[in-house]
C-alpha cells in the first residue's frame, strides 16, 4: 500500500535557467494536490487585506473643534432658535457626529484556515501548470535583461511571484524593476501574493522550505 501511495504522489517538472526540463520532483499531495477550499481562501485574503488598512482616518467631535466657548446669543427674546455653541454639529464648521476614528480593521483567522488557504492556492497553481520550479538562479550580477530572458524561456506571461529560500540580492535587484514581478522568501508565502500573481516561480530550495513549513 505504501508503494502505491508514493507512486501516486504529484510531480512537478524541474527546469534549469534556460527553461529546459532537467527532471521531476515528487511533492506532497496534501500541499500541491489538496482540495481547493474557497471559503478558507476568501477568509485568509480578507483578513490580510484588513490588516493592511491604515485605519487612521479621524474627525473632530464638538468637544475637539476649536472655538464655540460662549453662547452665540441669549436664550430668549431674539426670535431665533436656541443655541449654546457655534460648534454644534448642525452648524457649519461644527463637530462631526459618528465620524471615523482611528481603529484597527484587522481580525483573526485560525492558523489552520490560513494554512488551508495557502495549500488551496498552491494546488490550484499546480493544476493550472502555473507553478514552475527552477533549479536555481545563477546571476553573477544584477541584470534586469537577464531576468526577462529567464522568464521568457520559462514561458512566464503575466504577473509572476518569484520565491527563494534565502535572500538573493542579484535576483531581487534584477526583478524589482519589472512590472508585475515580485520576489519574496518561502517563509513569507501568503495567500494575497499568490492570488495577485498569475505565475509562481520557485527555486528548488524554496520548494523544499515550503514543504517543511506547510507539511507539519
Q: 30-44 b/e with 16+ CB inside 10 Å = b?
A: ebbbbeebeebbebb
Give the integer Cα–Cα distance in Å for 85 and 75: 12
pLDDT at 37: 96
Question: To the nearest whole percent, how much of the chain has pLDDT over 90?
Answer: 91
| Whether residues 34 and 136 fall in one domain | yes
What is the structure's pLDDT at 1?
Answer: 40
Which of 72, 99, 126 terminates a domain? The answer is 99
Same domain, 179 and 198: yes
pLDDT value of position 181: 97
Q: Answer yes or no: do 128 and 86 share one domain.
A: no
Same domain, residue pair 210 and 113? yes
Answer yes or no: do 152 and 130 share one domain.
Answer: yes
**Domain co-membership, 32 together with 87:** no
Question: Would you say 40 and 161 are in contact if contact means Cβ atoms under 8 Å apart?
Answer: no
| Domains contained in the chain, number | 2
Collapse the DSSP code of 62 into the 3-class scheme (helix H, G, I; strand E, B; otherwise coil) and give the result. Answer: coil
**pTM for this model (two decimals):** 0.82
- 67 and 174 in a single domain? The answer is no
Task: Mark whether 21 and 111 lie in a shared domain.
Answer: yes
Domain check: are 85 and 173 in the same one? no
- What are the pLDDT digits (tens) for 81-121? 999 999 999 999 999 999 999 999 999 999 999 999 999 99
Specify whether 132 is located in the same domain as 164.
Answer: yes
Whether the predicted pLDDT of 3 surpasses 50: no
Q: In terms of domains, do 147 and 197 share one? A: yes
pLDDT of 2: 46
Look at residue 5 in the predicted model and tell me its pLDDT: 46
Which of the pair, 202 or 1, is modelled with greater confidence? 202
Nearest-angstrom CA–CA distance, 121 and 21: 24
- Where does 18-139 have alpha helices with state H? 29-32, 38-52, 111-127
Can you read off the three cell numbers belonging to residue 209?
Answer: 522550505
Q: Is 90 exceeded by the pLDDT of residue 34?
A: yes
CA atoms 2, 203, 114, 121: torsion sign: negative
Q: Are residues 50 and 71 located together in one domain of the fold?
A: no
Read off the CATH number of the domain in which 13 is found. Answer: 3.40.1370.10
CB distance 156 to 201 below 8 Å: yes
Asked if 14 contacts 133 with a C-beta cutoff of 8 angstroms, the reply is yes
Of the chain, the percentage scoring pLDDT greater than 70 comes to: 96
- Domain span at residue 160 reads 2-54+107-214
Q: Which of 99, 116, 131 is the last residue of a domain?
A: 99
Q: What is residue 216's predicted lDDT score, i.e. its pLDDT?
A: 73
Instruction: Identify whether the C-beta of residue 108 lies closer than 8 Å to the C-beta of residue 177.
Output: no
pLDDT tops 70 at residue 176: yes
Predicted pLDDT at 68? 85
Amino acid at each position: 500500500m505504501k508503494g502505491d501511495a508514493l507512486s501516486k504522489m504529484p510531480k512537478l517538472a524541474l527546469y534549469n535557467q534556460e527553461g529546459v526540463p532537467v527532471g521531476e520532483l515528487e511533492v506532497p499531495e496534501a500541499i500541491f494536490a489538496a482540495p481547493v477550499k474557497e471559503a478558507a481562501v476568501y477568509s485568509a485574503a480578507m483578513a490580510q487585506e484588513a490588516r493592511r488598512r491604515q485605519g487612521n482616518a479621524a474627525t473632530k467631535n464638538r468637544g475637539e473643534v476649536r472655538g464655540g466657548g460662549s453662547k452665540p446669543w441669549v436664550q430668549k427674546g431674539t426670535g431665533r432658535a436656541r443655541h449654546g455653541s457655534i460648534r454644534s454639529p448642525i452648524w457649519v464648521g461644527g463637530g462631526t457626529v459618528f465620524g471615523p476614528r482611528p481603529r484597527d480593521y484587522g481580525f483573526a483567522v485560525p492558523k489552520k484556515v490560513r494554512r488551508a488557504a495557502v495549500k488551496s492556492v498552491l494546488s490550484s497553481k499546480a493544476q493550472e501548470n502555473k507553478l514552475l520550479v527552477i533549479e536555481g538562479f545563477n546571476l553573477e550580477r544584477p541584470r534586469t535583461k537577464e531576468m526577462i530572458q529567464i522568464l521568457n524561456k520559462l514561458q512566464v506571461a503575466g504577473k509572476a511571484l518569484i520565491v527563494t529560500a534565502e535572500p538573493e540580492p542579484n535576483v531581487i535587484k534584477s526583478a524589482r524593476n519589472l512590472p508585475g514581478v515580485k520576489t519574496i522568501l518561502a517563509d513569507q508565502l501568503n495567500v494575497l501574493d499568490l492570488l495577485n500573481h498569475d505565475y509562481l516561480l520557485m527555486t528548488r530550495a524554496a520548494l523544499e522550505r515550503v514543504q517543511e513549513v506547510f507539511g507539519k
